Structure 1
Amino acid sequence: MTAPAIDAPDRALYRITEAMRLLSLSRTVIYEQIRAGRLRTVRQGRTRLVPATAITAYVDLLQHEAMEGGTR
């Protein structure tokens, strides 16, 4: 019997606080990345949400930058 996956991305949208935990980043850094266009968000009413696909894309961006040996 296999153990269940921990923190499996089973949701489409995450609150900012959840994205902070998933990415291990502070609130300030999250909002800096949003303002810089590096982390996409959507709005539902007054709530800003981070799509799971945006989290994956951000991690991919970081990995790509690490392989290139620098940042933008």
Structure 2
Amino acid sequence: MSMTAPADRLLYTPKEAAGVLAIGRSTLYELMAAGAVKYIKLGRCRRIRRSDLESYVAGLSPAA
């Protein structure tokens, strides 16, 4: 199984979203807990919208 999820999906699992962002799953959960990456809850499951991933990346500032 590939670590990246298809780009045409609307919702990603945290594991898939971490793969898309090329970060660890634990790091993604920390970003979610801090409110940096928004997510939705569907029952007991967490899902991240593609648009929320794009917004997070757009808000990152380049290294000096």
TM-score range, shorter chain: 0.7 to 0.9
Identity of aligned residues (%): 30
1:9-38 deviation digits (Å, cap 9, x = unpaired):
211100011001100111111011111111
**3-state SS of paired residue (2:59):** helix
Report the residue type matching 1:29 in the other structure.
T
> How many residues were matched structurally?
60
For residues 1-72 of structure 1, the aligned pairs below 5 Å read 9-62=7-60, 65-66=61-62, 69=64
What do you get for the CA RMSD once the two structures are aligned?
1.6
Structure 2: distance between partners of 1:15 and 1:8: 12
Shift of 1:8: 5.5
The list of structure 1 runs, each at least 4 consecutive aligned residues, that deviate by more than 2 angstroms after superposition, is none
TM-score (norm 2): 0.82
TM-score with structure 1 length normalisation? 0.74
- Greater Cα radius of gyration, structure 1 or 2: 1
Name the structure with the higher helix share. 1
Structure 2: unaligned runs, 5 residues or longer: none
